[in-house]
Copies of this chain bind each other. A is one copy, B any other.
Amino acid sequence: MTSARPLDVLDKAKGKRIILRLKNGSEVTGVLQAFDLHLNIWLEDAEERKDDKVVKLGSVLLRGDTIIFASPATE
């Protein structure tokens, strides 16, 4: 276990749907395409939920410093 790194959890989620909680209080879900060490994240088929409102985003690049956490969607 000692050699695991925290971002490994996202490696395993590539091509799958993940949930992002943002610092502004909204949630964005989408299919993970790519991410980098800053936690910049590219999602496809994304949508944003905030206060029960849902907005379709399609392709989206999220800036890492706006993210609180990223969680692979449970299957």
A interface residues with partner B (beta carbon < 8 Å): 1-2, 4-10, 14-15, 22-25, 28, 33-36, 39-42, 46, 56-72, 74
Contacts and interface: CB of A to CB of B under 8 A. Distances in A.
A45 B66 CA distance: 24
Contacts of A65: 63, 65
Nearest to A62: B69
Give the number of times this chain occurs in the complex, counting copies: 7
A10 to B, nearest CB: 6
A6 B61 CA distance: 7
Contacts of A10: 61
B24 A68 contact: yes
B74 A42 contact: no
